[in-house]
Amino acid sequence: AMYDQKIEGDVTLRLFVDSAGRIVPESTRVHESSGYPALDSAALAGAARLVFAPARRRGIPVATSFLQPVEFRHPEGAVLKGGP
């Protein structure tokens, strides 16, 4: 329904990745909401399927957390100002 309405938004997630590069879903949180709960939920659901190369400290894989932006754009949406 939101796609049909051409709703767009940005969500920032705080992700925690273990030393094997897997997302720890119970630690994933919305850091900055898009203002649309459905977009925030979609970002969280998609993040659970991500896999990363683990961070390394002195060559040893370590767990880490970081902020990950997620942009929802409609192909027919308006051009956002300030973008590239």
User: Rounded to an integer, what distance in angstroms lies between the CA atom of residue 79 and that of residue 84?
Assistant: 10
Mean pLDDT of the chain: 88
Q: What is the pLDDT of residues 30-64, one digit of tens each?
A: 999 999 999 999 999 999 888 899 999 999 999 99
pLDDT of residue 55: 92
Please give the span between the terminal C-alpha atoms of the chain, in angstroms, as a whole number: 28
pLDDT tier at 80, thresholds 50, 70, 90 = low
pLDDT of residue 84: 44
CA–CA dist 77, 46 (Å, integer): 22
Task: Say if pTM beats, i.e. exceeds, 0.85.
Answer: no
Helix/strand number for the chain, H first, E second? 1, 5
Q: Tokens 């998609």, residue?
A: 46
